[in-house]
Amino acid sequence: MQRLLIAMIGLVLLTGAAAAATLEERVVEHRLANGLTLLLMERHQAPIVAVNLTYKVGGVHEHNGITGVAHLYEHMAFKGSRTIGVTDATQEKPVLEELDRLAEAITAEKARGTAADRTRLAALRKQFAETETKADGFVVPAELATLYQRHGGVGLNATTGKDLTRYFLSFPSNRLPLWAAVESDRMANGVLREFYKEKNVVLEERRQRTDNSPSGRLHEAFSAAAFQAHPYGLPVIGWPSDLDGLSKARTEAFFQTYYGPANAVLAIVGDINQKDVIALVEQTFGRIPARPPSPPVLTIEPPYAGERRVEVEYAAEPQILIGFHKPGADHPDDDVFDVIDSLLSEGRTSRLHKRLVQEKQLATSVSTFSDYPGAQYPNLFVIGATPRAPHTAAEIEQALYEELDRLKKEPVTPRELEKILNQVDAAQVRALRSNSGMASRLGYFQAINGDWRETFKQRDRIARVSPEDIRRVAAQYFTKSNRVVATLVKPAKQETESKP
Amino acid sequence: MNRVVAALFARVFFLTALLTAPPALAPTAAQPAPLGDPRTMIFDPVTITVPEVERVVLENGMIVYLLPDRELPLVTVSAMIRTGAIYEPADKVGLAGLTGIVMRTGGTARLTGDQVDEELEFLAANISMGIGAESGSASLDLLKKDLSQGLAIFADMLRAPAFESAKVEQAKRQALEAIRRRPDSPGGITAREFRKLLFGADHPLGRESTTDTVSRTTRDDLVAFHRQFFAPNSLILGVTGDFEKPAMLDALRKAFGDWQPQPVALPALPPVTASSGPGAGRSVNILRRDLSQTHLRIGHLSVKEDDPDYFALALLEDILGGNSFTSRLFRDVRSRQGLAYSVGSRIAPGNAGPGVFMLHALTKGPSTYQALSSMLDHMEHLRQEPVSTEELQLAKDAFLNSFVFSFADSGLIVGRLMGLEYHGLPKDFLQRFRDSVVRLTKEDLLRVARLHLHPDRVIILAVGKDNDFEKPLSTFGRITVLTLKPGG
């Protein structure tokens, strides 16, 4: 019986590895002379294609004073180029320049604080509003999105994170030339029009995701407490005052620095012919001149000396986040954390779910994140939980530490590890169900790990993690002096409703 | 440098000729793109081959749709069950949802709930189960090699869930905590309060669970609810993935074949009387919360899915606020005025009850009036003037050219057929939708706007800090101040 079981496990492992090999063979990599990496996978299930354009730029490339610039640029990339989104770019240009001069004058005047000349400010604002109306006259609203939609594009969107900014959509595969023309144009010749209005849109996004969201507030304060030096501590959405003062010149300079083709990974999955697509991308993206390499992130978070705790007061039910500093994507311990991540919170049979949600019923939910808030640089292993009344965040914290201590003392069982591998195997098969999911995976691993093959090697790396690795990593990283804890607490005098 | 330019021009010439589109040069000094102007590109229409889906009725009345798709070694079985929260008793709101949850967690005749989880997660198999307002749903998704094991558990869960007491209690405690936490999510508050205003706080489509209704619900209620609605003749099953039809039918007969049919009665939904009829005027409802951003909803009841005007209304809604980036609301309220990050509209056609047509936005307190006013103007404008030729063409092109995505995978195709059968709609519904969109004219849209949009009698809901509003909302209609009840 025992032997049979082992033989069966061997067979399952083989199937998983074999599946990854076949998938890997279906991916074609092509490097353009300007440095852009193109990844292609043919999948002919339906006459559709998914594209994912990932730039190695995000919040991690910001500093105080320009927080939010990566995300704001992502919004601006939908405003068009010198030919798209405008009636006449030549006539538009001086108007936009005048608008920028006025905006900078307003920022400078405001920066004088109480000494600011209010009459001058009012006059500048009036002029600004008039010039903005003039600039609006050149705008062809939403022309870029209109082109995509008219041709059946769906899921047009973009995201900005700590490490990456990603642009994606899906469309009927015979429209690929249209996409290549529009996309390469906007990535090379973007014009920051409607810039100042879009800041207001982003401020609304901030109000929605952060200011009026209990968890949004908690996460922002948690990251800020965890990283005192490294830019992972800065909010991707931006501090409101930074957004307000952010100049177009700084935004443009940010684009010039980080949006070079060598920083881009273009993943295309679907009903395509690889040769045709390579030719098409060469003709379009290939025209974009190479740029100097973008500067590296130099700051390293100094070693921790003592636990950091932060309380966020907000009129809402309690939540807790606990983080432990850990290395980034290039360190072997990162794989061990991936296993610990699954072990602790993947599914109903995971350790934390079983202990905290089912048995003790202290929490309604518990989750872990192994690359928080970004994956590229040294980051945090984070546990988040929602207490169930009348239980408190403190009780949860206690129970969590008991579970982490178990990891340090008792070796993880082979069955637990086997379950995790089975889940990784199945996830790799399921990943191919969607073109966009596969494109996203390929682009992500190429951008973060420097090699798309890592998406298929992930399984082998996880298979190599031993119970002893887990014990060692738990003992090394899950210590009091290496952790940061943030809790959401009600203000002393609770006011949930404003008075009429 | 010169060589590069020459080479680029050569490409332009060559490719534009290939595309048979005129090389429309932009009137600016900008460099011409190598493929020509994307605005003038022309492509062949997108052709779709829709695979044949087999429909089989088992001897006990269970309907089964089958569509093999051998690309990946996976199988998915999904189910729709004729039930819903609209059928639960008024004093036990939340019962249907709890039943769905504990069917999944509370074990079966053969395995405890914990054993089920162990077995499924070891196989990396997923089973989900849930009961929504107007239907129940379940799905099994696993590697092909694990089908017989997974299917047995799935069938047991649907047929003979054990409803372990501990899991019932756990689900109730979780539900109570969720109720406690409702005030933390302004979006959730807005959605629930708006439904109450539309359908009435006591109507099955508007009511919400409370601490009382959940506390009162017992294990026996869950058992009875399951017994009342779960029968083979009230199930529609859809199977996709890597299988042979005869073998799959054998497996399904083995899993479900001896399940005896029983009559299932679905009580009729009471009529909706809460919302304003013609002449009732607008209602403006304010729910005060200490937020820096106001959640706005504007809307009224609307057509059912089988209404002949639904297709035209759906396209009109795309133009108003449905299409992101290009819709009127997005372009004006977001891009031009910078008032919102989230803004748009939605039409949810009715099935059991009436549908809903609504506009929504989140804007800072001091621009609440302006945003609301703009949104109402856009709604009114659709009744005053026909949409432009370009807008109609864009909405049609977007719909028709993205139509292929409705057939992007076998799960979508089968899921749609199940939904259509469930709601009593014709199986060629989507084709009819497409055909009617092709024929729609500006006049059609104006007619449905005048018939089905009623900005003069909308329900307006603003959740936020009304002290911050730049102007009182009383110009839009009579104001009612709502309060949030604790525990409900």
pLDDT, one tens digit per residue, over B15-70 is: 222 333 333 333 333 444 568 899 999 999 988 888 999 999 999 999 999 999 99
Q: Tens of pLDDT along A50-89?
A: 999 999 999 999 999 999 999 999 999 999 999 999 999 9
Closest residue of chain A to B118, computed from CA coordinates: A349
Q: Are B126 and B140 in contact (CB under 8 A)?
A: yes
- For chain A, percent of residues with pLDDT exceeding 90: 91
Residue B51 — φ and ψ, nearest 5°?
-70, 150
Q: Which residues pair with A367 in a beta bridge?
A: A384
Please state whether A85 falls in left (phi above 0), alpha (psi between -120 and 50) or beta. Answer: left
Long-range contact set of residues A407-413: C-beta below 8 Å, sequence gap at least 24: A407/A340, A407/A343, A407/A470, A407/A471, A407/A474, A407/A478, A408/A471, A408/A474, A408/A475, A408/A478, A409/A471, A411/A467, A411/A468, A411/A470, A411/A471, A412/A343, A412/A467, A412/A470, A412/A471, A413/A467
- Which structure tokens are listed for B127? 């089973």
Q: Are A477 and A334 in contact (CB under 8 A)?
A: no
Question: Contacts of residue B118 in chain A, CB cutoff 8 Å?
Answer: 349
Question: Contacts of residue B393 in chain A, CB cutoff 8 Å?
Answer: 150
Residue B93 — φ and ψ, nearest 5°?
-60, 130
pLDDT at A364: 96
Q: Do B117 and A185 touch (CB under 8 A)?
A: no
Taking the Cβ of residue A284 and every Cβ of chain B, the question of whether any pair is shorter than 8 Å is answered with yes
Closest residue of chain B to A140, computed from CA coordinates: B331
Q: Do B177 and A349 touch (CB under 8 A)?
A: no
Between chain A and chain B, the number of residue pairs with CB atoms below 8 A apart is 241
Q: Quote the ipTM score.
A: 0.92
Taking the Cβ of residue A200 and every Cβ of chain B, the question of whether any pair is shorter than 8 Å is answered with yes
Q: Do B293 and A212 touch (CB under 8 A)?
A: yes
Residue A109 — φ and ψ, nearest 5°?
-65, -45
3-state DSSP assignment of residue A403: helix
Nearest-CA neighbor of A455 among A446, A464, A467, A466? A446
Separation between Cα atoms, residue B320 and residue B455, nearest integer Å: 13
User: Model confidence at B1, in pLDDT bands (50, 70, 90)?
Assistant: very low
For residues B241 and A11, which has the higher predicted lDDT (pLDDT)? B241
Question: Contacts of residue B183 in chain A, CB cutoff 8 Å?
Answer: 316, 496
Residue B97 has pLDDT above 90, yes or no: yes
Q: Please report, for residues A60, A76, B315, B317, B393, the alpha-carbon distance to residue B389 in angstroms, rounded to integers and kept in the order given.
A: 46, 28, 13, 16, 6
**H/E segment holding residue A308:** strand A308-313
pLDDT at B46: 87
**H/E segment holding residue B394:** helix B389-401
Q: Are B207 and B91 in contact (CB under 8 A)?
A: no
- Which structure tokens are listed for A9? 């496990």
Q: Tens of pLDDT along B375-432?
A: 999 999 999 999 999 999 999 999 999 999 999 999 999 999 999 999 999 999 999 9
**Nearest CA-CA distance, residue B393 and chain A, Å:** 8
User: Model confidence at A303, in pLDDT bands (50, 70, 90)?
Assistant: confident
Q: Tens of pLDDT along A326-355?
A: 999 999 999 999 999 999 999 999 999 999
Question: Contacts of residue B292 in chain A, CB cutoff 8 Å?
Answer: 207, 211-212
Q: Do A429 and B143 touch (CB under 8 A)?
A: yes
Tell me whether the omega of the peptide bond preceding residue A373 falls within 30 degrees of 0, making it cis: yes
pLDDT at A492: 83
Closest residue of chain B to A358, computed from CA coordinates: B170
Pick from B368, B405, B434, B483 the residue to mutate for testing the A interface (most A CBs within 10 Å).
B405
Q: Do B38 and A181 touch (CB under 8 A)?
A: yes
- Please give the single-letter amino acid code of residue A35: G
User: Model confidence at B14, in pLDDT bands (50, 70, 90)?
Assistant: very low
Pick from B14, B143, B326 the residue to mutate for testing the A interface (most A CBs within 10 Å).
B326
Q: Are A406 and A412 in contact (CB under 8 A)?
A: no
Which among B33, B174, B293 is the nearest to A185, CB-wise?
Answer: B33
Show the 3-state SS of B50-119. CCCCEEEECCCCCEEEEEECCCCCEEEEEEEECCCHHHCCHHHCCHHHHHHHHHHHCCECCCCHHHHHHH
**Nearest CA-CA distance, residue B334 and chain A, Å:** 7
Q: Do B401 and A315 touch (CB under 8 A)?
A: no
Q: Please report, for residues A167, A439, B210, B393, the alpha-carbon distance to residue A173 in angstroms, rounded to integers and kept in the order given.
A: 17, 14, 50, 21
Q: Are A155 and A168 in contact (CB under 8 A)?
A: yes
Q: Are A99 and A162 in contact (CB under 8 A)?
A: no
Residue A5 has pLDDT above 50, yes or no: no
Nearest-CA neighbor of B222 among B78, B84, B102, B60? B102
3-state DSSP assignment of residue A189: coil
Nearest-CA neighbor of B93 among B184, B217, B176, B6? B217
Query: C-alpha angle A255/A260/A266, rounded to 5°?
Result: 110
Residue B315 has pLDDT above 70, yes or no: yes
Separation between Cα atoms, residue B320 and residue B317, nearest integer Å: 5
Closest residue of chain B to A434, computed from CA coordinates: B409
Question: Contacts of residue B122 in chain A, CB cutoff 8 Å?
Answer: 415, 418-419, 422
User: Model confidence at B480, in pLDDT bands (50, 70, 90)?
Assistant: very high
Q: Do A364 and B174 touch (CB under 8 A)?
A: yes
3-state DSSP assignment of residue B220: helix
pLDDT at B281: 84
Which among B186, B342, B403 is the nearest to A212, CB-wise?
Answer: B186
In this prediction the pTM is 0.92
Question: Contacts of residue B105 in chain A, CB cutoff 8 Å?
Answer: 348
pLDDT at B485: 82
Tell me whether the omega of the peptide bond preceding residue B278 falls within 30 degrees of 0, making it cis: no
**Nearest CA-CA distance, residue A317 and chain B, Å:** 6
Residue B278 — φ and ψ, nearest 5°?
-55, 140
Q: What is the pLDDT averaged over residues B102-115?
A: 98
pLDDT at B291: 97
**H/E segment holding residue A245:** helix A240-245
Residue A17 has pLDDT above 90, yes or no: no
Residue A499 has pLDDT above 60, yes or no: no
Q: Do B170 and A361 touch (CB under 8 A)?
A: yes
**Nearest CA-CA distance, residue B283 and chain A, Å:** 19
Residue A500 has pLDDT above 50, yes or no: no
Q: What is the mean pLDDT of chain B?
A: 92
Q: Do B293 and A208 touch (CB under 8 A)?
A: yes
Considering only the C-alpha atoms of chain B, give the largest distance between any 2 of them, rounded to a whole number of Å.
84
**H/E segment holding residue A106:** helix A89-110
Residue A192 has pLDDT above 60, yes or no: yes
